[in-house]
Chain A
Amino acid sequence: MGEATNPRIELLGVSKTFPGVRALEKVDLRLRAGEVHALLGENGAGKSTLIKIMTGALRADEGEIRLDGRPVEIRTTGDAQALGISTVYQEVNLVPTMSVTKNLTLGRQPLRFGLISWRSASALARQRLRRLNLDIDVERQLGSYSVAIQQLVAIARALEDDTRVLVLDEPTASLDANETNLLFQIVRDLKSHGIAIVFITHFIDQVYEISDRISVLRNGRLVGEALTAELPRLQLISMMLGRALGHVEEQAKAKARAGKTEAAPVLEARQLGRRRTMAPFDLSLRPGEVVGLSGLLGSGRTETAKLMFGAIHPDSGQVQLEGRPVLRNSPRHSLRNGIVLCPEDRKAEGLIGELSVRENIVLALQTKRGWLHRLPLDEQNRLAEEMIKALDIDTPDADKPVGQLSGGNQQKVVLARALASRPKVLLLDEPTRGIDVGAHAEIVALIRRLCAEGLALLVASSELDELVAVSDRVAVLRDRNMVGEMAGDDITRENIIRTIAGGRSWTKPQE
């Protein structure tokens, strides 16, 4: 293995800032020939930004890239490809409506007399696939193959004869165990040919199975780099999750927790689940209680929250509201029953960017009232002002389009919408994702206050310390299974990490 080899490609002191967000802060990444280098971190840790800088899709604000010791400039994806850096993205980035041959040869079809010779194109495609020991009908539509095959075709397209660095961005996200094994065989083979491979995944077991070295990113910073063999699982998870919030928070929580009573649950999931999404689970939420949902990326946090909200239709089990089963489980009905969800992806699922802050805030309450009973404008303004003040939303006025606010303030608007509808149960999916430290503390304080007011809260988060700080109970997820629940003083970083790390299996839930 490659302890002796010099780095093939080095990214040194790379920083990148997007409007309002420091995506990368002086990050180093060293890839060695013949090594599989796992790049780990939660959503928003900066993995994809780093990869995009390496592959020319983005340019760094500062920092240096060296290839075999020489500094290089990578301005475009073309530059990266010319230097032998190839990428396979998480979503298969091929055209499913075209044949395998067409996908593999797009832009470099062999020409004869200026026209494409499909015979040699097919031969070329077959030859490319043979390098991966793949023998499939290249004339069939790509979309007619399984995702695993599509992924392999994408790798075949990315691999040139002179490929020196191959980036695999979550290639196993939608593969089952057998398919993953097939992929790993190929990765090992490529490794033996001296290619440096970056492997991005959120499956910890796969990291230990395939990688030689690990780098962990958190909030745009490099937390650490280590040889896989020398990094215990517990330490790795601890590196990935959590940030110390300080003792004050801990003490405040201990006090808050002292006065809890065992009230009857408002919302209860009984063997709720959906194939390929989340294995059946039980979970109850009580008024005045914060239930944390912990687990690594892809462990089913979002899915759990969405199943309870009705945004994902379950195919097993049921949801009970105040002891009675909910017959029609949909966002519309949940909202009417006083259950609200603040989604993780606020751009795609939360905000309506064109609409004003006020309109975004009143939306859920308005839905609850129905279209005929419009909130009068002064009522809307009063509510919006109240929320802007309560959550300290930084906006010149309530009529500003919400798309023009900064990330943290957008998140607060999503929260404000939920709160304005006067819910009994609040499901928060990553409430502090992508917001600065100040806003972070405010939102944590807000969660506490709401809880004290008798709201039942579910907080799904990748911030371990945040969960430890706010939760009265924590449910732990691993690989789309609920694997443990802890309460009171049992809620510690160590306990959660141990539960997450506990299992060996990384297969998907039953098919």
Chain B
Amino acid sequence: MRERYLPLVATITVFVALFVTGGVFYKHFFSTLVLGHILADNAFIIIAAIGTTFVILSGGIDLSIGSMIGFVGVVMASLDTMGWHPLASAGLMLVFGLAFGAFQGFIIDFCEIQPFIVTLAGLFMLRGACFMVTLDSIPIRHPFVDAFAGTNIPLPGGGFLASSAIVMLVVLAVAIVIAHFTRFGTNVYAIGGDRASAILMGVPMRRTTIKIYALGGFYSALGGVTYALYTSSGYPLAGTGNELNAIASVVLGGTLLTGGVGMVAGTLFGGMILGLIATLIIFNGSLNGAWIMITSGVLLFIFIVMQRFLVSSFTLRRAG
């Protein structure tokens, strides 16, 4: 087996183990119904995390995800009150996400400022913008939203694939193609694997950096659109802290935080693990939300330390 699949296999193993454990302890847990629910509830986070995967694969980071989700929601909701069709406002926000991400990427590359700080400013800016739009939760009343929520594909075993999950799977497929079958995708891996070499091998840094963050912005905006449609509302505090969930999903999905190694498909399972933990805790009843944070912290720790030693064994081999 190729060693680059190792982290992905580890992730899937953890996911399956958790799922089976749930099935052992709780009746009705091991079913497509639960699986469908987890997919639907976490679709928006996974969508945003898919974009983040590219950013992290290139050795960067994007902290503006959560605010983007919130901002997209409130703008869509207030456009709804002005009579816009949700699809039109969604399109507008996707373009905005793309442009905002590209802007961040440009600043990062042109001004040579750490991505962490630039996207942190982005986080503040978008969250502040949320409050400028509205301070309250605004419902989206357009009939399309109900139609969206009502659409689903039945699964064998009584479960169903909700529309948000369908969107997620479609954009995941697109992301896989971008990552593995375009020159841009390969350039992302090259930059994250060895920046200096990538430059020497002729990877266009500025163009690629801008595209990476634009893609990240697009996907987090899409996450925001999905969230707004799924909850049929816009709330200025929505998505707070979701950047951490997205990053955690990427890392649990087997992508190295230092960049260069990982797979977009892993992020799906990383996000699903987080969702599964939340669902297990709900099933348990006596546990509460604190457990979600702690278990994701513990898993994050395990994966990061595992990666650390994977990398050091790797570099040792290279030197020796």
Contact = CB atoms under 8 A, between A and B. Distances in A.
Interface residues of A, number: 27
Q: Which of the listed residues A95, A106, A140 has the most CB atoms from chain B within 10 Å of its own CB?
A: A95
Contact of B196 (A93, A106, A116): A93
Nearest to B192: A97
B187 to A, nearest CB: 7
B318 A107 contact: no
Interface in B119-170: none
A78 B200 CA distance: 10
Contacts of A96: 193-194, 314, 318
A116 B183 contact: yes
A118 B186 CA distance: 12
B261 A97 contact: yes
Which of B194, B198, B314 is packed against the most chain A CB atoms within 10 Å?
A: B194
A109 B203 CA distance: 13
Interface string B178-202: 0011110011011011101110111
A139 B190 CA distance: 15
Size class of the contact patch on chain B: 20 to 34
Given A93-B200, A96-B314, A97-B194, 14 more contacts: A95-B190, A95-B260, A96-B193, A97-B189, A98-B186, A98-B189, A98-B193, A106-B187, A106-B203, A107-B183, A115-B182, A140-B2, A144-B317, A276-B320
Contacts of B193: 95-98
Contact of A89 (B4, B186, B190, B200): B200
B282 interface: no
A143 B189 CA distance: 14
B3 interface: yes
A47 interface: no
Contacts of A111: 183
Interface in B256-286: 260-261
Given A115-B181, A116-B182, A147-B318, A94 B194 contact: yes
Nearest to B198: A95
Contacts of A150: 318
Interface of B: 2-4, 177, 180-183, 186-187, 189-190, 192-194, 196-198, 200-203, 260-261, 314, 317-318, 320
Interface of A: 77-78, 89, 93-98, 102, 106-107, 109, 111, 114-116, 118, 139-141, 143-144, 147, 150, 157, 276
Contacts of B194: 93-97
B189 A115 contact: no
Contacts of A77: 200, 202
A95 B183 contact: no
B26 to A, nearest CB: 40
B203 A107 contact: yes
A114 B177 CA distance: 11
Contact of B201 (A107, A109, A140): A107
A139 B180 CA distance: 14
B197 A95 contact: yes
A445 to B, nearest CB: 40
Given A97-B193, A115-B181, A141-B4, A106 B260 contact: no
B196 A109 contact: no
A78 B4 contact: no
B204 to A, nearest CB: 9
A412 to B, nearest CB: 31
Nearest to B258: A97
A157 B201 CA distance: 9
A71 to B, nearest CB: 25
Contacts of A141: 2-4
Contacts of B198: 95
A109 B181 CA distance: 10
B201 A106 contact: yes
Given A78-B202, A96-B314, A98-B190, A115 B177 contact: yes
Contact of A109 (B3, B183, B317, B318): B183
B186 to A, nearest CB: 6
Contact of B202 (A107, A114, A115): A107
B243 to A, nearest CB: 25
Nearest to A107: B202
B208 to A, nearest CB: 11
A22 B156 CA distance: 76
A98 to B, nearest CB: 6
A105 B21 CA distance: 44
Contacts of B177: 115
Leading 4 A-B pairs by shortest Cβ distance: A95-B193, A97-B193, A97-B260, A115-B181
Contacts of B181: 115-116, 118
Contacts of A157: 201
Nearest to B260: A97
Nearest to A113: B181
A163 to B, nearest CB: 16
A260 B201 CA distance: 57
14 contacts: A95-B260, A96-B194, A97-B193, A98-B193, A98-B260, A106-B202, A106-B203, A107-B183, A107-B187, A115-B177, A116-B183, A118-B181, A157-B201, A276-B320
